[in-house]
Copies of this chain bind each other. A is one copy, B any other.
């Protein structure tokens, strides 16, 4: 035992060879658990090697758990087979045996292939400026090496925040300083930061119907969420009668109805916020870039002089999922609070993405891209509307809010309940979602459907419309 022929070490470093020999003997059971190992000095003498070599081998064995040491006693062989029992502290089978989690099986592409997917908020294949992005990435990787290795401030690089401030000034007439901007990897992440900034003890209000994820996210933090109906009752009155401190809205383009908040309501909302220092308005301006006619609606942030509006927007809508980058604009006093309370967080966006996007904006590519996308989506919308117009669908369907953003609402006269209509459409290869699926507490209008056309190919639209038209033709009592 412990008599190894060190001349066989060959190309191996001596310590590594010794480590391998002892490990082999432990695993094979030649050396038994709890057996004491020779002292480093003794073994070194016996094998004719240095104490340091033995020490290195023992250190590795220790680190890997084959041996353990007791102070002033020496080294002992660990019971490598008893791991489970040692761990659980008792002998019964651990509660959670090692098994694969019951998660739906994944394939490279989880979405079934539809002829047309009007429920997806995916993007058109032309929606990402692949070659420009590649070119700028190459330039940034070449020119900005030192900057890329700097640890970015938690709120994002100054360079990108400057570009965004400039862009907001030019496109949205929003005048803010880069110090008010916080960059983050997606709006979900920024919502989480907002909760930490404004406090877990606040009550949040969301629009009903609305984007279910927002209330789900707030609830995740144990926060109480009020649902404010945007139809029927007056929105601001309903908000007042809730106990909400913070209201989360998309005034430029409500999701999913597409409604624009009237100017009167905007002022009344700001009034409501001004009544208490706890109150804030989160203005989610998620697809204002894609307004199809007229000039973009001015942001609430624009008419706010009491520092009550937190403006949020994302590049993931205009630049696709390829780039995950969102930002928020905090009113100055909140920017200061953020700096004091949350600036310890590392920025969640890669430096590379930040520098490439900044350059993309500064060189005017972003403006060009938005204009190109707006035209592309407008053309899609026109093809779809014209296909509907020319089909039998037009006799039983009414289109709402087709001018804003990348979706519109289609009301259909059908006797099918919403769920059945959607199911039948899906079976025929057309994925659509009923507006009623977006309601929380308010009473949904039946037979309205959200038609998101951004990821549907123009060439598939006529067929998709025909499928929907046929469905209605054959629906009961139609």
Q: Which A residues form the contact surface with B (CB < 8 A)?
A: 15-16, 56, 59-60, 62-65, 67-69, 78, 83-84, 86-89, 94-96, 98-103, 106-111, 120-125, 127-128, 130-131, 133-134, 137-138, 141-142, 145-153, 158-159, 177-180, 185-186, 188-189, 192, 196, 200, 213, 216-217, 220-222, 260, 262-264, 266-267, 270-271, 274-275, 277, 293-295, 297-298, 303-307, 316, 320-325, 331-333, 335-336, 339, 342, 344-353, 455
- One of B128, B149, B325, B336 near A123 (C-beta < 8 A): B149
- A–B complex contacts, Cβ < 8 Å, 5 sampled: A69-B262, A96-B332, A101-B332, A134-B141, A196-B220
Give the shortest distance, in Å, between A202 (CB) and chain B (any CB): 13
- One of B98, B103, B122 near A150 (C-beta < 8 A): B122
Q: Which residues of B contact A121 (CB under 8 A)?
A: 151
- 19 additional A-B residue pairs with CB within 8 Å, beyond A64-B298, A65-B303, A134-B142: A60-B294, A64-B297, A87-B267, A87-B303, A87-B305, A98-B305, A103-B179, A106-B178, A106-B179, A109-B150, A110-B153, A120-B151, A127-B149, A128-B149, A131-B141, A137-B141, A138-B138, A149-B321, A186-B348
How long is the Cα–Cα vector from A133 to B134 in the complex, in angstroms? 11
- Given A63-B294, A137-B137: A96 and B148 within 8 A (CB)? no
- One of B185, B221, B274 near A349 (C-beta < 8 A): B185
Q: Are B306 and A94 in contact (CB under 8 A)?
A: yes
Q: Which residues of B contact A124 (CB under 8 A)?
A: 149
Number of copies: 2
Give the shortest distance, in Å, between A256 (CB) and chain B (any CB): 17
Which of A87, A180, A264 gathers the greatest number of chain B CB atoms within 10 Å?
A: A87
Q: Are A349 and B336 in contact (CB under 8 A)?
A: no
- Given A185-B348, A297-B63, A322-B148: A106 and B153 within 8 A (CB)? yes
- One of B15, B130, B196, B216 near A141 (C-beta < 8 A): B130
Q: Which residues of B contact A189 (CB under 8 A)?
A: 185, 189, 348
Q: Are A350 and B325 in contact (CB under 8 A)?
A: yes
Complex: chain B residue closest to A201, CB-CB: B222
Complex: chain B residue closest to A94, CB-CB: B306
How long is the Cα–Cα vector from A220 to B345 in the complex, in angstroms? 11
- Given A78-B263, A185-B324: A303 and B153 within 8 A (CB)? no
The 10 closest A-B pairs by CB, nearest first: A101-B336, A185-B348, A185-B185, A101-B335, A65-B263, A87-B270, A96-B307, A148-B322, A94-B306, A63-B297
Q: Which residues of B contact A137 (CB under 8 A)?
A: 134, 137-138, 141
Give the shortest distance, in Å, between A375 (CB) and chain B (any CB): 16
Q: Which residues of B contact A324 (CB under 8 A)?
A: 185, 346-351
- Given A87-B304, A103-B339, A349-B324: A122 and B149 within 8 A (CB)? yes
How long is the Cα–Cα vector from A62 to B221 in the complex, in angstroms? 38
Give the shortest distance, in Å, between A330 (CB) and chain B (any CB): 8
Q: Which residues of B contact A200 (CB under 8 A)?
A: 221-222
Complex: chain B residue closest to A314, CB-CB: B346
Q: Are A68 and B263 in contact (CB under 8 A)?
A: yes
Q: Which residues of B contact A455 (CB under 8 A)?
A: 149
Q: Which residues of B contact A332 (CB under 8 A)?
A: 96, 98-101
Complex: chain B residue closest to A108, CB-CB: B158
Complex: chain B residue closest to A15, CB-CB: B294
How long is the Cα–Cα vector from A305 to B178 in the complex, in angstroms? 50
Q: Which residues of B contact A270 (CB under 8 A)?
A: 86-87
How long is the Cα–Cα vector from A192 to B192 in the complex, in angstroms? 9
How long is the Cα–Cα vector from A180 to B260 in the complex, in angstroms? 43
How long is the Cα–Cα vector from A18 to B333 in the complex, in angstroms? 40
- One of B122, B185, B274, B352 near A151 (C-beta < 8 A): B122
Q: Which residues of B contact A100 (CB under 8 A)?
A: 177, 179, 332
How long is the Cα–Cα vector from A307 to B94 in the complex, in angstroms? 9
Q: Which residues of B contact A345 (CB under 8 A)?
A: 188, 217
Complex: chain B residue closest to A324, CB-CB: B350
How long is the Cα–Cα vector from A323 to B324 in the complex, in angstroms? 13
- Given A332-B101, A350-B353: A271 and B222 within 8 A (CB)? no
How long is the Cα–Cα vector from A295 to B186 in the complex, in angstroms? 39
